[in-house]
């Protein structure tokens, strides 16, 4: 498949021209715009589609629609929302192969990665019922405090109103759907701005939501030029909460212009794996390669550097080289056996290669790879990388295994914590006590023992500290971000109820 050809089910979301021109979903209707953006496939550098680029008028209509319809979803029975999610799940299952092929072409994903992302979205929808545990409130008896002895309180969760979801290019379907599900389940309307580089597969998802019975105006999907479109939405007073996944730079900009809105920011990372001398080195090498190369390294939770105790570093590097040979690199549309395809565009490949060359110039040893063509960057192994190299400190977001020698566990912890990022890390050891020492000491939101970080359907909470963001996402936890707590206090004394505080035992 080297062009976009959709089934009749999706016929309303685009116009058939020389290349398909995709529309936006505003107020329950698909519409095109005069201004469009070309979608260039990283697989072959060819234009495969155009997307609509919305202006202020369309954005205003989308915001007004979401605002005016927020009570409609709030008043829908929760069980109806759950059952609608199940209809969406079944429809995505039916169109899974078609969506995966589109995702491969627009994103450069391997077949395994593309189908894995669609399957993760299906599983996240299946877990919708598990979100409900975080919507349930609590009862607080007031007689535990002298000033509230005749009162009780109910603490409940209410929808914030209108949620804005902005999603990244690396998981354009899963990350976006993981924003839509908790927003709607908790009774919010939502506006989605998918990535402008590869929004097509999610636009297919939006049509599935529409055809599965989601009322007009509850889900708006707008595409457009990132800065202008995003700034309009982020700063709009009718938006009540922002859920953003993307770069730290953009996340900081959002926090500056959002005002007092609730914000959940899942930003960049410098995932660090620490390999101690007693580790199962073959396991550690295999997992570090997987964590570094999966999705061509374009993951915020990727292993972006490996700190290895110097006594075992040479043996570890040899094992890494062995396991890297298991990965097949190339055009993902040429064979379903390809495991590493291109990065998102040629500019990204150029940036990655500059970091590799900088490391070599500063003393790192290039063991494998190191070259690129168009959007394809060779899987690369760098060892003995000095800490002054850019790739030792900045997010790589590319298929590079970066190995750094350290003297001991103390050095590893110190180097890891000096990072401005604090998203994900891993530690490899067969001894519980050093494992616990590392896991407690690392200043990160997530740390994994004896495995590469991998968050799948976000069944466990996920989120970072420092420059890696604020807030947690995941089954149930995203609900907390997209709701407000309300405390309802009932004074029982007029009904001669409640417990009398006597004060007779007071000191």
Domains 8-267+471-485 and 271-449 share a fold: no
3-state secondary structure of 22: strand
Listed residue (299, 298, 316, 297) closest to 307, CA to CA: 316
Q: What does pTM read for this prediction? A: 0.95
The one catalytic residue in 266, 287, 395, 481 is 266
What is the model's pLDDT at position 503? Answer: 87
500 part of the active site = no
Residues 6+ apart with CB under 8 A from 42: 107, 108, 341, 342, 343, 344, 345, 346, 374, 375
Q: What is the DSSP string of 284-316?
A: HHHHHHHHHHGGGG--TTSEEEEEEEHHHHHHH
* Residue 447 DSSP label: E
Reading phi first (left if > 0) and then psi (alpha if -120 to 50, else beta), residue 106 is in: alpha
Contact between 482 and 183 (Cβ < 8 Å) = yes
279-288 burial, b if ≥16 CB within 10 A, otherwise e? bebeebbbbb
Tokens of 408: 């001991």
Q: What is the C-alpha to C-alpha distance for residues 474 and 456, in angstroms, rounded to an integer?
A: 10
What is the model's pLDDT at position 133? Answer: 78
What is the model's pLDDT at position 1? Answer: 58
Q: Which CATH class is domain 8-267+471-485?
A: alpha beta
What is the model's pLDDT at position 15? Answer: 96
β-pairing, 424-428 vs 271-275, is: parallel
Domain ranges of the chain: 8-267+471-485, 271-449
266 part of the active site = yes
The one catalytic residue in 288, 300, 394, 481 is 300
Tokens of 479: 């609900």
Q: How many CA atoms lie within 13 A of 163 on its CB side?
A: 36
* Residue 214 DSSP label: P
Side-by-side strand order, sheet with 424-428: 365-368, 380-383, 400-406, 303-309, 271-275, 424-428, 446-449
Q: What is the C-alpha to C-alpha distance for residues 100 and 77, in angstroms, rounded to an integer?
A: 32
What is the mean pLDDT, run by run of 10 residues, along the chain of 507 residues? Answer: 87 95 97 96 97 96 97 94 96 98 97 97 94 88 94 96 97 97 97 97 98 93 91 97 97 96 96 98 98 97 97 98 97 95 98 98 98 98 98 98 98 98 97 98 98 92 96 93 97 92 85
Q: Give the C-alpha distances (Å, rounded to integers) separating 251 from 90, 170, 185, 266, 269.
A: 34, 16, 25, 8, 13
3-state secondary structure of 138: strand
Q: Which CATH class is domain 271-449?
A: alpha beta
Q: What is the C-alpha to C-alpha distance for residues 473 and 10, in angstroms, rounded to an integer?
A: 30
Residues 6+ apart with CB under 8 A from 118: 92, 96, 99, 100, 103, 173, 174, 201
Listed residue (371, 381, 380) closest to 316, CA to CA: 381
Torsion of CA 20, 124, 240, 221, to 10 degrees: 10
Angle in degrees, CA 466, 346, 20, rounded to 5: 105
């Amino acid at each position: 498949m080297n062009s976009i050809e959709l089934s009749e089910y999706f016929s309303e979301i685009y116009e058939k021209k020389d290349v398909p021109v995709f529309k936006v979903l505003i107020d329950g209707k698909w519409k095109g715009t005069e201004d469009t953006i070309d979608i260039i496939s990283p697989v072959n550098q060819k234009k495969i589609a155009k997307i609509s680029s919305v202006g202020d008028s369309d954005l205003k209509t989308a915001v007004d629609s979401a605002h005016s319809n927020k009570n409609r979803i709030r008043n829908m029975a929760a069980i109806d929302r759950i059952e609608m999610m199940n209809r969406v799940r079944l429809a995505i299952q039916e169109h899974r192969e078609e969506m995966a092929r589109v995702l491969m072409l627009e994103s450069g994903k391997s077949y395994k990665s593309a189908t894995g992302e669609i399957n993760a979205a299906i599983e996240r929808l299946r877990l919708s019922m598990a979100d409900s545990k975080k919507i349930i409130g609590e009862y607080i008896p007031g007689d535990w405090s002298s000033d509230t002895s005749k009162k009780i309180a109910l603490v409940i969760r209410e929808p914030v109103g209108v949620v804005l979801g902005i999603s990244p290019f690396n998981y354009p379907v899963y990350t976006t759907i993981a924003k839509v599900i908790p927003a709607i389940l908790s009774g919010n309307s939502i506006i989605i701005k998918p990535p402008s580089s590869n929004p097509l597969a999610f636009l297919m998802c939006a049509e599935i939501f529409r055809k599965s019975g989601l009322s007009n105006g509850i889900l708006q999907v707008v595409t457009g030029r990132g800065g202008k479109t995003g700034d309009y939405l982020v700063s709009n007073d009718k938006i009540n909460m922002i859920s953003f996944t993307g770069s730290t730079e953009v996340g900081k900009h959002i926090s500056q212009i959002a005002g007092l809105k609730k914000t959940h920011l899942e930003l960049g990372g410098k995932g660090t794996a620490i390999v101690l001398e007693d580790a199962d080195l073959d396991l550690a090498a295999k997992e570090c390669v997987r964590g570094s190369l999966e999705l061509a390294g374009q993951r915020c939770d990727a292993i972006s550097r490996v700190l290895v105790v110097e006594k075992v570093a040479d043996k570890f590097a040899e094992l890494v080289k062995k396991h890297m040979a298991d990965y097949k690199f190339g055009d993902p549309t040429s064979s379903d056996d390809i495991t590493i395809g291109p990065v998102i565009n040629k500019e990204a490949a150029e940036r990655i290669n500059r970091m590799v060359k900088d490391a070599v110039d500063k003393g790192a040893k290039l063991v494998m790879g190191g070259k690129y063509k168009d959007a394809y960057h060779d899987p690369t192994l760098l060892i003995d990388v000095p800490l002054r190299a850019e790739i030792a400190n900045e997010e790589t977001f590319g298929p590079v295994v970066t190995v750094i020698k350290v003297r001991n566990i103390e050095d590893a912890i110190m180097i890891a914590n000096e990072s401005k990022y604090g998203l994900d890390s891993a530690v490899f050891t067969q001894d519980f006590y050093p494992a616990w020492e590392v896991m407690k000491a690392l200043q990160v939101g997530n740390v994994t023992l004896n495995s590469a970080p991998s968050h799948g359907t976000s069944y466990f909470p996920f989120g970072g500290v420092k420059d890696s963001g604020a807030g947690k996402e995941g089954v149930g936890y995203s609900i907390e971000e997209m709701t407000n707590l309300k405390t309802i206090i009932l004074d029982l004394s007029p009904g001669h109820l409640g417990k009398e505080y006597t004060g007779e035992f007071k000191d």
